[in-house]
Amino acid sequence: MKTLLETLPQHDDKVLNELCNALRYCGISIESILKGEEPLAEQEDKTQDENIKASKSAEEKEYKEAYVKARRCGSCRNDFIRIMITGPQNVGKSCLIQAFIRQGLILAVGATTAAVITKELVKLVTYNMDDKSVDDFKAVLARKVITAIETVKRQIREEESYSDSSLNDIESSTPSPLIRLDSTAYASNLVETSPQAMPADEDMIPLDFLENYFRGSSESDQASVIDHCHYGKLWDFAGHSIYHITHQPFLSHNCIYLLVLDMSQDMNNHVVNREGNNTEMTYLEALQEWLASIIGSSKSIARTKAEIDDILEDIAWPMVILVGTHADKLGDEKACQERFEIFKNTILREFPSYADHIYGSGIIFNCNDKDNSEETRLQRQKNCGQLHNILRDFVNHQPFIDRFSQIPLKWYIMAAILHTFPDRFNEEAAKFHTKLNQSVSRIMTAEEIELLAKEYKLCDGIEDIHQMLLYLHDLGEIVYCQKEPVKGKVVTQVEWLLNVFRSIIQLDKPDSKGLAINAEYEVARNTGIMSQHYINDKFDKLGVEEKERKFLLDLMESYDIICKVSKEDDGCPDQYFVPYLFRSNSQEFDCQGFKVSGWLYVGFKPSQMPYIPDGILFCLLVSCYKEWKKSEIEPRYKCAKYRLKEDCYDIVVKKESSYIGIQYRYRMVPNKPQLQLQIEAKVKKSINEKKPYEFLRNKLSSLIKERMPRCEKSDCSYFIKCPSCNLFNPASNPIDGSSDVIFCDCSDVYECGSIHKWVMSSVEDTDDNGRNDAVLRQIDDIEGQKVDIYIVSPDSPASSYINIISKKVGPDWKNLARELDFTNTNIKKISQDNSNDTDQQCVDMLDSHCKLMGETFTKLALVKALFACGLRSVAETILNRDK
């Protein structure tokens, strides 16, 4: 402007005059311009800019100082707990969560699988325990860190304003003690963290990360940023039995479990799937599975005392809260409460040792997704309010406050950093620095996380990292592996791991039209053996990197989800046995043509262990497969047959209730007595050397100690099942050659053969020519097909077996009666005489037939009738009993 004014007079006075007038009109002095002075308005703008810049610099310095101080010696209140929603499939778990977070509204949903990764159905529902709202975990995490930093800023300001105040005075003036500063560390850092003495290395603070993740939120309304609330992390575990074995890596002792049950079903009914078909498992068995897995696997001795509905409750951890569903099928409130009492009393009767851990809420939800009427929604909201109050009161009194009541602020920051791995589950991670993205991967070692923490000044050593990882595992943010060979490894993307497990375990039919992959699918479906090629095909579809594949296989093998099959020929690809693939195959093994031993059981007294979970069974099946090398395995529902070809016999292992049974069998060759003797000698030698019964007991005992520490002091013993009432009775002195007599509670008396007798029975029951007294007979089954059976003493009276089979025949006695030529009139009369006791009806019918037929109603005649009316399993009970 000055140059322009100096040049204008040389050209045009008129233009100069008009310009000067315009400048004067704007309040600008021509003289000041000619003197080189800036206009007043520009001076004011420049001063304002400098003030803003200085204010920002001071704010930046204050924020940085507060962050450093909080990071170094700040501890936050632990405001998070994981709440696991568990229970059998198709009971309404996902509907319950919807009602909980949608003010009673329920929409139709599909079955929950680990592949359905949504925040509302599987993970993560971050639920505010104080105001009943739903939030995003990362947003909550950001607010917690901001609140901690703001608290420190306030403390610093108060210290500067009141230099004569002690640290305790400052802390006591803080309205909500979210953050605590260690007094020693605080005092020693006052000089270090002052603006004038900030160490050079503190410039390493990840300000870009703070700006993006935390500090950006602080520029909004402060009232919405400061957060002192408690939060529950809701997980919906898929209830399908096929997923049970995959739950183990995700369980934690420091969780609240909501066990959801369909109160419209009887406990002994079979669980119904979404297609309306019965599964193999009953509701009682499903309940046993969950309680044993949750409570039996815990080492915790903590308890919670909380006042719920004006009653002081004392519950042991891990805590299980019973919640019912399908109230719409039960009737009014009184009917619902009566039904809940029935379930509660059944649980007390069946699981007395778990009663300390279980809280019966008395709440039964209406989970009918077709009924969202105003009345139903109001009832759901009332139920949600009741459940919310129960959870809130228990959360506010959680006992592991002793361990994690005050956690270092840096743990929250590290949790945020571990969320920055860019993948389809974490779209927000893209906004962070590339270097940070590259430092976090789906699978990391504890050492790698320690190095990352050190880079951002968030580490006090490996033990601090270990405790932080345990805490984040409890929250469900990571999976921190504690078993070899993957001990110390960390999975930062839990949803991804769930999806991998589901893809391997579910065994979906391949989309590929290629014959090779379809052939491998059929092999896996029929034999339980998966090829490495088939698993790699699954990995390819999931985008699993090469370096991640070995870890995943090792992780699944460490939890016995799969078992690597040893191959002598290194040229062949690895194969994996997957025992869970055969859960639905309940067909019994055909014993015709075999000499079969009796069943010997290993297990525990019910008072010590009320139930052995299926997960333990499958670990045991895998261990047997590894132990009995070169065996061929054929799994079935809760059992497996191992064919030891070199030793000429099979071993069958099965689970019955809380016991594991073992039986051996070998082929009978009636027309070749010398060969028969050789087979029996080989079987005897192998069993004496391998001692499969001893291995089974020792392995079960070690698995229980490892997987169910609450039961680690229980004694694993041998048991024999009563042939009349099926009660398991301890076998005394089982190893020596003696026998004992057991007087059962049902008043039956039977011989308890020792293991010596169990091993030798194949020889002791033969005559001098190596033949036993079983004879071959050919009979017809229900479809008219010829069946070969071996039967001992076929002409003995059938009356000896009436009490043995009556409980097994049950309501099917009418079919047997018709096969024995009873008229409908006679059947009706027997039914009326004992209208409420089907077992007694069967006994009366058979007694009547014995009196009518006399000696002609033989054991063989009874067996033929049972086969002909479709009761083959009952007939085999008679045949196997005498073997």
- Between CA 178 and CA 139 the distance in angstroms is 17
For the cut 50, the answer to whether the pLDDT of residue 309 exceeds it is yes
Q: What percent of the chain has pLDDT over 70?
A: 74
Q: Average pLDDT of 32-53?
A: 62
**Dihedral angle, C-alpha 67, 71, 73, 74, nearest 10 °:** 80
Q: What is the pLDDT of residues 556-571, one digit of tens each?
A: 888 778 878 755 555 5
Location of structure tokens 């839990």: 494
> Hey, how many other C-beta atoms are within 10 angstroms of the C-beta on 270?
16
Q: What is the pLDDT of residues 178-209, one digit of tens each?
A: 444 443 333 333 233 333 444 434 444 454 55
pLDDT at res. 638: 85
The span from the CA of 211 to the CA of 218, in Å, is: 9
CATH architecture of 80-137+231-404: 3-Layer(aba) Sandwich (3.40)
Average pLDDT over residues 789-816: 86
For residue range 88-107, list pLDDT tens digits in order. Answer: 888 888 888 888 878 778 87
Residue with the bigger pLDDT between 379 and 280: it is 379
Lowest-pLDDT range of 179-183, 615-619, 620-624, 783-787:
179-183
For residue 310, is pLDDT > 50? yes
> Has residue 238 got a pLDDT over 70?
no
Give the DSSP H or E segment for 747: none
pLDDT of 129 above 60: yes
What confidence score (pLDDT) does residue 208 get? 54
* pLDDT recorded at residue 701: 92
How far apart CA 84 and CA 785 sit, in angstroms, is 51
Across the chain, what does the average pLDDT equal? 77
Mean pLDDT of 757-763: 54
Q: Six-digit token pair at 729?
A: 């009775």
What pLDDT score does 552 carry?
94
Cβ atoms < 10 Å from Cβ of 17: 11
pLDDT at 167: 45
Which pLDDT belongs to residue 695?
94
Q: Which tens digits make up the pLDDT trace of 622-633?
A: 889 889 887 888
Higher pLDDT, 573 or 271: 271
Is pLDDT above 90 for 550? yes
Segment 198-227 mean pLDDT: 52
Query: Bigger pLDDT: 730 or 772?
Result: 730
Residue keyed to tokens 């196997």: 880
- What are 421's two structure tokens? 């791995």
Buried b (16+ CB within 10 A) or exposed e, 458-494: bbeeeebbebbbbbbbbbbbbbbbeeeebebbbbbbb
Q: How far apart are CA 257 and CA 587, in angstroms?
A: 35
Q: Is the pLDDT of residue 152 over 50?
A: yes
At 117, is the pLDDT very low, low, confident or very high (cuts 50, 70, 90)?
very low
Q: Are 73 and 185 in contact, with CB atoms under 8 Å apart?
A: yes
- Per residue, the 3-state secondary structure of 179-202, as one string, reads EEECHHHHHHHCCCCCHHHCCHHH
pTM of the model: 0.70
pLDDT at 636 over 70: yes
Task: Of 267-281, 762-776, 833-847, give the lowest mean pLDDT range.
Answer: 762-776
The dotted CATH code for 507-579 is 1.10.10
Span of 599-608, 766-775, 860-869 with lowest mean pLDDT: 766-775
pLDDT at 115: 35
pLDDT average, residue stretch 98-120? 60
Structure tokens, 741: 């007599």
pLDDT top residue among 561 and 400: 561
Q: What is the mean pLDDT of residues 397-422?
A: 72
Class of 775-881 per CATH?
A: mainly alpha
**Cβ-proximal residues to 63 (8 Å cutoff; 6+ apart), any chain:** 149, 153, 215
Q: Is 854 left (phi over 0), alpha (psi -120 to 50) or beta?
A: left
Determine the pLDDT at residue 827.
92
Mean pLDDT of 775-788: 82
284 or 246, which is more confident: 284
Question: Which of 39-48, 133-142, 675-684 has the least mean pLDDT?
Answer: 39-48
Helix, strand, coil fractions of the chain, as percent rounded to 5: 50, 20, 30
Return the pLDDT at 341. Answer: 93
Rounded distance between C-alpha atoms, residue 842 and residue 824, angstroms: 15
Q: Residue 643: how many CB atoms within 10 A of its CB?
A: 16
Q: Which SS3 state, helix, strand or coil, does residue 274 take?
A: coil
More confident residue, 300 or 122: 300
Of the candidates 525, 707, 700, 690, the one whose C-alpha atom is nearest the C-alpha of residue 621 is 700
Provide the terminal-to-terminal Cα distance of the chain, rounded to the nearest Å: 118
Q: Give pLDDT, residue 491.
A: 94
Q: Is residue 859's pLDDT more than 60?
A: yes
Pairing of β 125-128 and β 319-325:
unpaired
Q: What pLDDT, on a 0 to 100 scale, did the predictor assign at position 193?
A: 35
Residue entry with tokens 């076929």: 794
Name the residue with higher pLDDT: 187 or 263.
Answer: 263
Provide the residue ranges of all domains of the chain, joining segments of one domain with +.
2-37, 51-77+138-225, 80-137+231-404, 507-579, 585-764, 775-881
pLDDT band at 173 (very low <50, low <70, confident <90, very high): very low
Strands, E assignment, 484-637:
489-491, 529-531, 563-565, 575-577, 594-596, 600-603, 632-636
Query: Among 8-12, 152-156, 794-798, which stretch is predicted with the lowest mean pLDDT?
Result: 8-12
Phi first, then psi: give them for residue 455, nearest 5 degrees: -60, -35
pLDDT score of 197: 42
% of the chain beyond a pLDDT of 90: 18
pLDDT tens digit sequence for 433-448 = 445 556 788 999 999 9
Going by pLDDT thresholds of 50, 70 and 90, the confidence category of residue 288 is confident
Strand order in the sheet with 125-128: 134-135, 125-128, 231-236, 80-86, 255-262, 319-325, 358-365
